[in-house]
Amino acid sequence: MTIGKTPRILNLDLLRLISALMVLLFHYGFRMQISGEGGGIGFPELAPLAMWFDTGLLIFFAISGYVITMSAEGRSAYEFAVGRVARLWPTFIVCATITAIVLTAMPVPSLQPPTLEQWMAHAVILSRALGQPFLDGAYWTIAYEIIFYGWIFLLIATGLFDRGWRMLILLWLSISACNEIAIGSGVLQKLLITEYSGYFAFGLVLYKTQRHRSAGNLCVLGVAVIWAMFTPFLTESDFVETYGLSRQVVGLAIIGPAALAVMTIAALSPSLRIAPGLAMGLGGLTYPLYLLHQNIGYSVFAHFGTEDDRWIVGVALVAVLFLLSWLIARGVEPAARRVIIQFARRIEDGVSRRRQRAIQAD
C-alpha cells in the first residue's frame, strides 16, 4: 500500500489555512451578531468586509477537487478509502467530542445543548443520516467533502478515474445546472453537490490538465469555470433568507472567479520560499481549526464577551483554538492515522493470503 506518500503542495497548505481563517472571520465578524448566537456580541466594524469571507468555502472546495484527485492518482479504491478515513475520522471525532463538552458546559444561545445520541451519531461523521443534527454548523461542508470522496472512490473502483472521466464531469455539471435552474431536487443537490460542483470539478480537471494538457481537458475545465461562476448567484437566496440582506451583484460576480484564480495560482506556481515543515505544519492546523471554531467561538463570546472586551476575548479565543488545533494535528492525528493504516494493511494482507491459499487449493 502507498497510503500516506502523496506529495504535498506547500502553497495549497498555506491557502487552506488562509481559507479557514476567512471562514472564521465570516462567522465571528459577520454572522455571529446577526444570528445572536454570540449572545449579542459582534464586530459590526468588520461586517462589511467579513460578509464576503464565505468565499473561503469556495476556495476549499476547489482545493479539495485538486488535492483529492492528486491523492487518488495511482491508488486502488481501497487505498484511497483508507487514506481518507485515516485523514478525516480521528480528528473529527476528537473535535466533535471537544465541541460537545464545551456546548454542554456553556450552551450557545438559540441552540439546544448536545445530547448523548447526537454525539454518538457523529461517529459516522454524517450524523444527519442517523437523524441527528450536526454539533457544529460548519460540519455541512465536511459532509459535502465525504460525498465527493465517495464519487472518487467509485470512479477508481470502476476504472473510470483514468478513462471516461471527461464525459462524467460534463454529465455532472449538466445535471447540476438542470437541477439548480429547473428541477430543484434536494436529493440531487445533496447527492451530486450541484450548488458547488463547479469548484470540485474545477480542481479535479485542473489537476488532470496539469498532468496532460489537451484541447478536451481545457474545454471541460472551461465548462467547470462557467458553472462555478454562477454559484455565488445560486446560493445568494439562502444568504438573503438567513441574514436578511443581499450583497452587491458586482461582488457576487467577482468572488467566484477570484476563488478559482487564487487556487490556480497556488497550485501551479513554484512553492513559496518557506520551510516545508513550517508550511505543512500550518496547513495541518486547518482541519481541526475549521472543526472547532464556529460553535465553540459563539459559546465563548456569549459567556465571556462584552462590548468592552470583545477584541481581547476574540484574540485570546483564536490563540487557544490555534494551540488546540496544533496539539490535535501533532499529537492525535499522526498516531491515529498510523494505527488505522496499519490495521488496513493487516486486513489487506489477510485477504491476499486467503486468495493465495484458495488459488493453491484449486
State residue 9's pLDDT score. 78
For residue range 182-231, list pLDDT tens digits in order. Answer: 999 999 999 999 999 999 999 999 999 998 889 999 999 999 999 999 99
The residue count of the chain comes to 362
* First-to-final CA distance of the chain: 27
Show the CA angle centred on residue 298, arms to residues 96 and 36, nearest 5°: 130
pLDDT of 172 reads: 97
pTM listed for this prediction? 0.91
> Containing H/E element for 70?
helix 55-72
Q: pLDDT averaged over the chain? A: 91
Count of other CB atoms within 10 angstroms of residue 234: 18
Q: Please check whether residue 106 is in contact with residue 141, taking contact to mean a CB–CB distance below 8 angstroms.
A: no
pLDDT of 1 strictly over 50? no
Residue type for position 245: L
What count of other Cβ atoms lies within 10 Å of the Cβ of residue 351? 11
Residue 182: Cβ-neighbour burial (10 angstroms; 0-12, 13-18, 19+) = exposed
pLDDT reading at 254 higher than 80: yes
With bands split at pLDDT 50, 70 and 90, how would you rate the model's confidence at 101? very high
Cα angle: 183, vertex 216, 146; to 5 degrees: 50
pLDDT at 362: 62
With b for 16 or more beta-carbon neighbours within 10 A and e for fewer, the 156-177 pattern comes to beeeebeeebbebbeebbebbb
Tell me 114's DSSP state: P
Least confidently predicted of 36-50, 115-129, 145-159, 262-276: 262-276
Is 267 in a helix, a strand, or coil? helix
**C-alpha distance from residue 339 to each of 75, 83, 324, 334 (Å):** 20, 12, 22, 9
pLDDT at site 5 = 41
Residue 358 pLDDT class (50, 70, 90 cuts): low
The pLDDT of 112-141, averaged and rounded, is 93
Burial (0-12, 13-18, 19+ Cβ within 10 Å), 245: exposed
Q: Which residue has the cell 493504516?
A: 341
